[in-house]
Amino acid sequence: MRIVLASALLLTVALSATAANALDSGANPVVVTPLADRTQTASGQPIALPQKNVEVIVSSFEIAVGATLPIHKHPFPRYAYVEAGTLKVTNVETGNSNTYKTGDFIVEMIGQWHQATNLGDGPVKLLVIDQVEQGAKNTVLRQ
């Protein structure tokens, strides 16, 4: 199944690249700027996709100045693009932290307790993409 998924992903990338190049030949050029290329989460785990009925959920998050999110974890992959602000994410299991700023791409840790704090003087704005098993939630709060 993974080989089929990987093949489909490679075909999609190849077709996208071909389409982008084709669009670049006319009066409306297309400029592709890679923003991220990752094979691991922020804590070094390999990225593993859900195995059945994958659903992609795209959300916009805004985290207030000085806010700290509750300790939580994600059972499935979550990706975030920092549109504005500065966000510190701490793995509460290891104590390791990463700080992300405007323009950074985050591959969140999977199944590890963590929390995030807005360190900036304005709101943090995130574009968040979850890949979950259909109907599942991707945030579990620590009780």
Q: Any idea what the CATH number is for the domain that residue 131 is in?
A: 2.60.120.10
25 and 3, same domain (yes or no): yes
Q: Are 105 and 38 spatial neighbours (Cβ–Cβ below 8 Å)? A: yes
Q: Are 100 and 23 spatial neighbours (Cβ–Cβ below 8 Å)? A: no
89 and 50, same domain (yes or no): yes
55 and 71, same domain (yes or no): yes
Residue 8 backbone dihedrals phi, psi, to 5 degrees: -65, -40
For 35-52, write each residue's pLDDT tens digit: 889 999 999 999 888 889
73 and 102, same domain (yes or no): yes
Q: Residue 32 — pLDDT band, cuts 50, 70, 90?
A: confident
Residues 6 or more apart whose Cβ sits within 8 Å of residue 108: 41, 42, 74, 77, 78, 79, 80, 89, 114
Enter the tokens of residue 49.
């996709």
Domain with 51 in it: 35-141
How far is 3 from 109, CA to CA, in rounded Å?
Answer: 24
For 49-88, write each residue's pLDDT tens digit: 888 999 999 999 999 999 999 999 999 999 999 999 999 9
6 and 62, same domain (yes or no): no
Q: Are 47 and 107 spatial neighbours (Cβ–Cβ below 8 Å)? A: yes
Q: What is the pLDDT of residue 131?
A: 96
Residues 6 or more apart whose Cβ sits within 8 Å of residue 137: none
Please count the structural domains in the chain: 2
57 and 7, same domain (yes or no): no
pTM of the model: 0.77
84 and 131, same domain (yes or no): yes
More confident residue, 70 or 4: 70
24 and 48, same domain (yes or no): no
28 and 84, same domain (yes or no): no
Q: Residue 26 — pLDDT band, cuts 50, 70, 90?
A: low
21 and 58, same domain (yes or no): no
